[in-house]
A and B are shown apart, each in its own frame.
Chain A
Amino acid sequence: MLRFILTRVSLIIPTFLGITLLAFFLIRLVPGDPIETLAGERGIDPARHEQLRKEYGFDQPVIVQYGIYLSRVLQGDLGKSMITQEPVLTEFSALFPATVELALCAIVFALLIGLPAGMLAAIRRNSIFDHGVMGVSLTGYSMPIFWWGLILILIFSVQLDLTPVSGRIDVLYYIEPTTGFLLIDTLLSDEEGAFWSAVKHLILPTIVLGTVPLAVIARMTRSAMLEVLGEDYIRTAKAKGLSRFRIVALHALRNALIPVVTVIGLQVGVLFTGAILTETIFSWPGVGKWLIDAIFRRDYPVLQGGALLLGIVVMAVNLLVDLTYGLINPRIRHNR
């Protein structure tokens, strides 16, 4: 077991180095001058420009710059944003909880609807319900979510006035960030109504971000269930006269969950992609929007650091899924 864990963990190192390389060099290729960015709207005189280039080390050979960058990264220093001059790590940790909160809500939403829908569809195979679920989930899977978000805002916020348009919470509530998760922070605070304000703000972004995972989970659950329901032991159970409910709940679901869990793990990367668009549409103060802004502003350190940190998060989640999987299913661990 230990060996299995070690192998898995050691595989991360080259990926990590790869990401630093990719992030570093790709971003160096982007046309545009970061010093010019720093100067903002006003332009900058050539002497000062040269001086700043030196100060930021941009005059050194790229490979040396990479070396400096890497050694700093290993010490936990991801540099400072060129726009705000704040350390990248500080900015990331201030914004990341918002993204995680949204992503978790989206996953929970997707599970709450996707799992039962997929199971029922499998049990009632080829019924109208089954076709309905599959149709809807394929539509969800095909959804351009940036458009979906706009349409939902148009209907629910503008026409029906049921949900707020954007942001995380009504600005009148002042919630000191303790955990960074507003749902928890608002409950900890004494402000009445703050929790509900936070919930209301979460509804639309959660639906938008959860749409694709919901579709994937429903489809995956259905096909995993179908497969399991066809296995011998289920037939045996049926033959033994166990109730339909017991068969599904105890035997089938447990076995069908394994691939579903894996899919959820794999959805993490997809979620971050979705988060970039969702956060842009709903002005959600998370890392997705932060990175988009960084790209448009040529904020190299933020972009590098952000990509690296997100990469690490995705790697960590994948590793976790891998390890759990190895724990649940001993066959895998011995195969490798």
Chain B
Amino acid sequence: MKKSALFAAICVPAFLAAAPLAAKTLVYCSEGSPENFYPGINTTGTSFDVNEHIYDNIVDFERGGTKVVPGLAEKWDVSADGTVYTFHIRKNAKFHSNKGFKPTRNLNADDIVFMFERQWKEENPYFKVTSPNHSYFNDMGMPKLLKSVEKVDDYTVKITLNQPEAPFLSNLAMQWAGVQSKEYADAMLKAGTPEKVDQDPIGSGPFFLVNYQKDAIVRFKAFPEYWGGKAKIDDLVFAITPDASVRWAKLQKGECHVMPYPNPADIEAIKKDPNVTLMDQAGLNIGYLAYQTTKKPFDDVRVRKAFNMAMNKKAIVDAVFLSSGVPAKSPIPPSMWSYNDSVKEDEYNPEAAKKLLAEAGYPNGLETDLWAMPVQRPYNPNARRIAELMQADLAKIGVKAEIKSFEWGEYRKRAQAGEHQMAQLGWTGDNGDPDNFLHTLLGCASAQSASGSNIAKWCHKPFDDLVTKAKVVTDQAERTKLYQQAQVIFKEQAPWFTVAHAVQLKPVRKEVVDFKLSPFGRHTFYGVDLKDK
């Protein structure tokens, strides 16, 4: 032992140069530790990135897109009225095995039914295991939507809905619907250790978990018997690195191949590095400043308009997002269908703003608060800095804004209760549907609920009528028209100062082949290859 250490001491440089493993190992510098290995209760992208590799879904989003493609279900039929879905499950999907469990059968309808019942039926023995809070399942309205989930035969599942739902398939492609092994779950229940299912996961995905050390590393190996064929890389490693600058330093040195969420500050340097490609894609998100429209002075549309004109959006985006964001004029991102590019942006004009403010009865300006999230979000790299810039701009039209902040959970809760006058917030789309932005964030239902996402508390009937109607119409051309009208009304009424759509930037080393950006911000490494340097 000692000898080898001594030997190593002499030859350190040589050893470091020769990578210790011959297998193809892709290292991803992830931003944090996963919560656990059960996607049904996960709420963070960090956890989804991990579990995405372990579990399969009934249907998937195509790699790098929002289109729904076959997953565990080879094909499916939908009844004419849109309420009955019949899924035909592939017969060649195998489960992983680990020290405590060897599967005896392939994935089948039982596992699919178990996936639903675990999150849906309180009497299911697994309902409360690890956590009873199946957030996404509930958020997607599944408890109300699902009428029944039945096993027709071993490889056929029939799902009946209470009413038609346009985005149902997209919803099933989301990570919360990752399929676990029922056989494993039963075995662990028998052994009295049900929580093992979520700690030593067994899925049918392209990678299996080898080892997880909290705050340090998640280690996967390619699953040779994956139904889609073995992944091109052999080992997949998530090196957990919370600090963005550190992630970049590691990528630069070749200690990892892909990293998420670079610091806007480092982007210049990243672009210049010859070993790194900076991939970018418009994100499905919006960062905004919401005016509390039920409170003075923001119940007056003139005040809101004046504020919109007083703040120099371009300067804010340039200074804070640097090149990682584009100024936003609509609540939905330009890459989303039904985006209305013809709406006119409020131009930056402090003089006009001042006049408008005087017209609204505030010739000497006014005082307000200005909330800033305490944390960095995908749609907003630094809310505080934005607030400081807004504060400075508003001061020019005589508005004194006081910056306020709370702990993040508290912040959301208070903002949803409408305690602010002006508050920053944002949104990242779940399934690529405009409904997920316009109705969820600006509809009346959401304004009236204390836990709704409409923190402008803006309930404007003409707008609400449009987005509610678009929800039930199935024809996309028709829906597009409704949503485009809604955006025009939004701009006129100005319940928000739309700040920016963050661009998803991913620095990737040149040796990485065929990595695709996901519009949902996921990081998937099945299908990715490494070429020799």
Contacts and interface: CB of A to CB of B under 8 A. Distances in A.
Interface in B171-199: 195, 198-199
Given A41-B44, A172-B27, A158 B249 contact: yes
Nearest to B32: A293
A143 B479 CA distance: 62
16 contacts: A31-B407, A39-B133, A42-B43, A44-B135, A51-B132, A91-B214, A94-B213, A98-B216, A161-B253, A166-B250, A168-B216, A170-B255, A172-B21, A173-B20, A192-B20, A298-B409
Interface stretch (B99-107, B147-155, B234-242): B234-242
A238 B413 CA distance: 75
Given A172-B19, A285-B216, A289-B215, A43 B35 contact: no
A171 B1 contact: no
Given A31-B410, A164-B255, A192-B20, A42 B35 contact: no
A197 B15 CA distance: 10
A75 to B, nearest CB: 18
Given A41-B43, A165-B250, A285-B215, A46 B451 contact: yes
Kindly state the interface size class of chain A when it binds its partner.
35 or more
A205 B409 CA distance: 32
A52 B214 contact: no
A40 B8 contact: no
A98 B453 CA distance: 41
A102 to B, nearest CB: 13
Contacts of A38: 131, 133
Contact of B4 (A42, A167, A192): A192
B138 interface: yes
Interface stretch (A78-86, A108-116, A248-256): A78-86
B130 A85 contact: yes
Interface string A147-185: 000000100011001001111101111101100000000
Interface of A: 31-33, 36-46, 48, 51-52, 55, 83-86, 91, 94-95, 98, 153, 157-158, 161, 164-168, 170-174, 176-177, 187-188, 191-197, 281, 283, 285, 289-290, 293, 296, 298
B522 interface: no
Contacts of A37: 409
* Chain A CB within 10 A, most for which of B27, B136, B410, B416: B410
Contact of B36 (A46, A85, A289): A85
Contact of A187 (B5, B215, B407): B5
Name, among B35, B243, B255, B409, the residue most crowded by chain A CB atoms within 10 Å (CB to CB).
B409
B249 to A, nearest CB: 4
A171 B138 contact: no
> Which size bracket describes the interface of B in this complex?
35 or more
B219 interface: yes
B412 interface: yes
A167 B8 contact: no
Interface in B476-522: none
B338 interface: no
Given A85-B35, A85-B131, A298-B409, 19 more contacts: A31-B406, A33-B409, A36-B413, A41-B43, A42-B136, A42-B139, A84-B214, A94-B213, A153-B246, A165-B255, A166-B241, A167-B216, A167-B239, A167-B241, A168-B216, A171-B237, A196-B12, A196-B15, A296-B408
B80 interface: no
Interface string B201-216: 0000000001101111
Interface in B217-242: 217, 219, 237, 239-242
A85 B195 contact: yes
Contacts, number: 151
B119 interface: no
B447 interface: no
Nearest to B21: A172
Contacts of A193: 8, 12, 15-16, 20
Nearest to B45: A41
A171 B256 contact: yes
Contacts of B132: 51-52, 55
Contacts of B135: 39-40, 42, 44
A163 B139 CA distance: 46
Nearest to B139: A42
Contacts of B241: 166-167, 283
Contact of A174 (B19, B211, B255): B211
Contact of A196 (B9, B33, B450): B9
A40 B9 CA distance: 47
A54 B293 CA distance: 35
Given A33-B409, A164-B255, A171-B255, A192 B133 contact: no
B246 A166 contact: yes
A176 B99 CA distance: 15
Contacts of B195: 85
Nearest to B412: A43
A174 B219 contact: yes
A165 B42 CA distance: 30
Nearest to A164: B255
Choose among B132, B215, B219 the residue with the greatest number of A CB atoms under 10 Å from its CB.
B215
A187 B5 CA distance: 7
Contacts of A40: 35, 42-44, 135
B226 to A, nearest CB: 21
Contacts of B25: 172
A188 B5 CA distance: 11
A231 to B, nearest CB: 43
Contacts of B19: 172
Can you list the 6 inter-chain pairs with the closest CB atoms, starting with the nearest?
Answer: A40-B43, A193-B15, A285-B215, A285-B216, A42-B135, A165-B249
Interface string B448-462: 001101000000000
A98 B214 CA distance: 11
Given A167-B239, A285-B213, A285-B214, A195 B131 contact: no
B70 to A, nearest CB: 28
B122 to A, nearest CB: 10
A67 B311 CA distance: 54
Contacts of A153: 246, 249
A161 B252 CA distance: 11
A122 to B, nearest CB: 35
Nearest to B131: A85
B240 A283 contact: yes
Nearest to B14: A193
